[in-house]
Amino acid sequence: MEKNQLKSLLTDMSLSEKAGQLLQIHGRWFLEGGYEPSTGPALEFEITEEQAYSAGSVLNETGAANLKKLQDKIMSRQPHRIPALFMADVIHGYKTAFPVPIALGCGFDPGLIERISAAAAKEASAAGLHVTFAPMADLVRDPRWGRCMESTGEDPWLNARYAESAVNGFQGADLKEKGKIAACVKHFAAYGAAEAGRDYNSAEVSERTLFEDYLASYRAAVKAGAALAMTAFNAIGRIPCTANERLMRGILRGDMGFDGVLISDYNAIEETITHGVSVDKREAALKAIKAGCDIDMMSDCYIHNLERLVTDGIIPESLVDEAVMRVLELKNKLGLFENPYKGASAEDEHEFILCEEHKRLSREAAAECITLLKNGGMLPLPIKGKKIAVIGPLADSKEILGTWAIFADRGRVVTLRQALEELYPEAEISFAVSGGLDEAAGAAADADAVIILLGEDESFTGESRSRADISLPEGQKELFDAVYRANKKIITVLLGGRPLAIPETAEKSEAVIMAWLPGTYGMYSLADIIFGKINPSGKLSMSFPYCSGQLPMSYNALNTGRPKPKGDGFNLYFSNYLDVPNEPLYPFGHGLSYTEFEYSDIRLSSGVLTAGKPLTASVTVRNAGKTAGKESVLLYIRDLKASVARPIRELRGVKKVFIPAGGEAEVSFEITEETLRFYDINMEYKSEPGEFTVWIGDKDMNFSLRDD
């Protein structure tokens, strides 16, 4: 449709039709038996059938045949036959689940994220979906928050790369293209800063930290062209985001230039009443529409109040028109006026969903993300000649995808047991997966090597799954101890969607692997890592603390006026704890390989950088071991003195390279004046001349930034 046709459509619509376009209801509403809320406080959703069929979008319903039928039904009830948007959470895969985003962060490979998102879009689009509620770009520094699983972790720069790559993968160059769906960056803003890691809790972040750290990834997604954004449940600075005009109109639309559709989170408009800033649904609707929120997801605030707010003269109709126009424009960009079913196709569902290519990608992704945290030399295991005991219920559990893999086919999940039996039939492996202490101890006593699976199944992470204590779940320490008493040759494999506090378990284990929630076929890659067919290359995108008391934490902290002097032990009147170290057990960027990578000194093209003359920092990375492998080469920067305190180091570049045994790779990064920008004392985003340190691997060097 041409822009003028969209305009005349809008002009021709009644006010109640317009309000309908701004309503999103759950697909189940249209099923026989009516609607039952799936998440959140019980809703009294009082809408008439007519209002339901006026909805501009439908949530979490899927399937090509089903959605084609639903589209016909909705369009036939609309005076202007406007097609509905079908939106759903396709976070890390549709039916084929890929590793959870926190794991994908450890892959340090934006290109991989783009390919995964494209694969997810292909499956979802065939199933009739038009929009995914992804990427979740929330920065998180507190693993008590269960939703850290949906984020790439604690680093703003890495999160920004994740967010933009996901948007590119989902959307491609043109939303009308086959297999592409619109991306919705969420949750705006700082949802991941929930105090004490308790979901939905308020965030207290300074303006500078908000702009510099928390907004970076949303900004990157917007720049990449995310068609939608979602508001956050939380309040920042005591203002619920969904009712925050400065945040939405000022920062998101104004500063960042977002011109897409802004949707509330589930029932978030109504929840401004419980936050205590709206007296009733009418005021909630008023605040949200004024703040710039276009679609009301799963509350009836807009549908019951927008019309009257206009006819009572409280808001101009143009405010509603503006929101409706954005919804119509999105439908137009997706080509729905020409083809309301978009990619929905039973044949394509059959061809793409869980296809061989996606299976391979799921394995590849897990291979890139699984992170070797400790290896005293036991890994990799020889395929023959050792009796291996695999212990723990998680070794044969299919609950290893993540709670946001809502459409994933759990029947297809390959467990570690299945993967080992299928790929390594010649290995001598016994399984003790009941969780019983005697069974576990017996199997361990009889083995030359023990692999114990600990950590969290998928039910521990995701929305609302916060934990105050992120040590091993109940009963697992006892299981580990029973095994340890019987055999000390232990390889601990951890599963889960968050870093865990496991200092004692790690100490007592010969080797530790973080396998995260690896996706439908990820366990094949874990099996290959165990036997050395794959050389692990994951590096942590989120620190593993010693204990929950250290939280929140992140590597890119400020120095403080009294940083702890180097060395072990407590230092009085310095910034440290009496009882635990300041450092994490395993820091951001930590991850081992079966080979050794040696870094040369850094070579700088010049010791001085100016705005017109960027510099290049290069290293030679040598694979000094006997095994080929991949290395994520990370570049960090520190601004040694500025008008505001700057982090002790910040990631500014990543290159993942494959290096054959004995081989070398030249790795170069460009450092520009832009790389060195930050929010200065006046909240202006700029660099300041002075001295900087650059690190690549374990090497560092200084350079200066000067005015041109």
595: tokens are 């080979």
Residues 447-486: x where in contact with ligand BGC by CB under 6 A, - otherwise, as a string:
----------------x-----------------------
Give the C-alpha separation, 520 to 183, whole Å.
23
In the complex, what is the shortest distance from the CB of residue 464 to ligand BGC, in angstroms, rounded to a whole number?
A: 8
CA distance 1 to 561: 60
Least distance to ligand BGC from the beta carbon of 433, Å? 33
When the beta carbons of 199 and 700 are compared against ligand BGC, the nearer one is 199
The count of C-alpha atoms lying within 13 angstroms of the C-alpha of 669, restricted to the half-sphere facing its C-beta, is 22
Position of tokens 């038996």?
33
Cα–Cα distance for residue pair 228/696, rounded to 1 Å: 36
Select from 30, 45, 98, 133 the one that contacts ligand BGC (CB under 6 A).
133
The least distance separating ligand BGC from the CB of residue 28, rounded to whole angstroms, comes to 12
Q: Is 86 in the site for ligand BGC (CB under 6 A)?
A: no
* 685, β-bridge pairs: 679
Q: Which two tokens stand for residue 601?
A: 């000194």
Q: Choose between 197 and 589: whose C-beta lies nearer to ligand BGC.
A: 197
What is the nearest approach in angstroms of ligand BGC to the Cβ of residue 27?
A: 11
Nearer to ligand BGC, 186 or 539 (CB): 186
Least distance to ligand BGC, CB of residue 274, Å: 15
Can you name the residues that pair with 87 across neighbouring β-strands?
Answer: 59, 131
Of all residues in the shown chain, the one whose CB is closest to ligand BGC is 133
Tell me the closest approach of the beta carbon of residue 294 to ligand BGC, in angstroms: 15
CB-nearer residue toward ligand BGC: 109 or 300: 300
List the one residue from 39, 311, 459, 606 that touches ligand BGC (CB under 6 A). 39
Residue 626 has phi, psi (to 5 degrees) of -105, 5
**In contact, 221 and 152? CB cutoff 8 Å:** no
Residues 223-252 that bind ligand BGC (CB under 6 A): none
Q: Which two tokens stand for residue 223?
A: 């720049």
* Closest to 40 in 3D by CA, of 274, 297, 266: 266
Angle at 172 between CA 168 and CA 177, to 5 degrees: 160
Closer residue to ligand BGC in complex, CB, 38/571: 38
Strand pairing partners for 23? 296
681 class by beta-carbon count within 10 Å (0-12 exposed, 13-18 middle, 19+ buried): exposed
Q: C-beta of 411: minimal distance to ligand BGC in Å?
A: 23
In angstroms, the CA 170 to CA 465 distance is 27
CB-nearer residue toward ligand BGC: 162 or 524: 162
CA 197/CA 141 separation, integer angstroms: 9
CB of 236 to ligand BGC, least distance (A): 16
Instruction: Using the minimum distance from each CB to ligand BGC, give the nearer residue, 230 or 553.
Output: 230
Q: Which of 53, 214, 266, 516 binds ligand BGC (CB under 6 A)?
A: 266
Q: Which of 87, 189, 179, 176 is nearest to 134 (CA)?
A: 87
Q: Phi then psi for 666, rounded to 5 degrees? A: -90, 130
457 is catalytic: no
Taken in order 545, 546, 548, 551, the sign of the CA dihedral is negative
Q: Which is nearer to ligand BGC, 242 or 278 (CB)?
A: 242
| Cα four-point dihedral sign 485, 486, 490, 496 | negative
The residues, ordered by sequence, that sit 6+ positions from 574 with a Cβ below 8 Å of its Cβ are: 562, 563, 564, 565
Residue type, position 411, single letter:
G
Binding of residue 30 to ligand BGC (CB under 6 A): no
Nearer to ligand BGC, 58 or 530 (CB): 58
- 43 CB neighbour count, 10 Å cutoff: 17
How many angstroms separate the CA atoms of 78 and 54, rounded?
6
Q: For the chain, first and last CA: distance in Å?
A: 49
646 binds ligand BGC per the rule CB under 6 A: no
Burial of 140 (0-12, 13-18, 19+ CB in 10 A): buried
CB of 48 to ligand BGC, least distance (A): 23
Length of the chain: 708
CB of 164 to ligand BGC, least distance (A): 19
**Which of 53, 133 has the CB closer to ligand BGC?**
133
Task: Please name the residue that has the structure tokens 């039939």.
Answer: 425
In whole angstroms, how far apart are CA 167 and each of 149, 161, 473, 580, 652? 18, 10, 35, 40, 20
Cis peptide before 552 (omega within 30 of 0): yes
Nearest distance, CB of residue 7 and ligand BGC, angstroms = 31
Residue 67 or 659: the one with the smaller Cβ distance to ligand BGC is: 67
Residue type, 118: A
Total residues at interface with ligand BGC (CB under 6 A): 8
Report how far residue 391's alpha carbon sits from residue 384's, in angstroms, rounded to the nearest whole number: 19
- Indicate the residue among 170 and 703 with the shorter CB distance to ligand BGC: 170
* Strands in 540-599 per DSSP E: 597-599
Q: Does 89 bind ligand BGC (CB under 6 A)?
A: yes
Strands 449-455 vs 387-391: parallel, antiparallel or unpaired:
parallel
Ramachandran angles phi, psi of 273, nearest 5°: -70, -50
> Which of 18, 186, 219, 489: binder of ligand BGC (CB under 6 A)?
186
- Which listed residue (142, 265, 457, 528) is catalytic? 265
Site membership for ligand BGC, residue 265 (CB under 6 A): yes
C-beta of 41: minimal distance to ligand BGC in Å? 11
Residue 130 in tokens: 């038009």
**DSSP symbols for 354-415:** T-HHHHHHHHHHHHHH-EEEEESS-PSPPSSSSEEEEESGGGG-S--S-TT-TT--GGGPPP
Taking the least distance from each CB to ligand BGC, the nearer of 95 and 638 is: 95
Measured from the CB of residue 630, what is the shortest distance to ligand BGC in angstroms? 32
298 φ/ψ angles, rounded to the nearest 5 degrees? 60, 35
The residues in 487-506 that bind ligand BGC, with binding defined as CB under 6 A, are none
* Binding-site ranges for ligand BGC (CB under 6 A): 39, 60, 89, 133, 186, 265-266, 463
Active site residues: 265
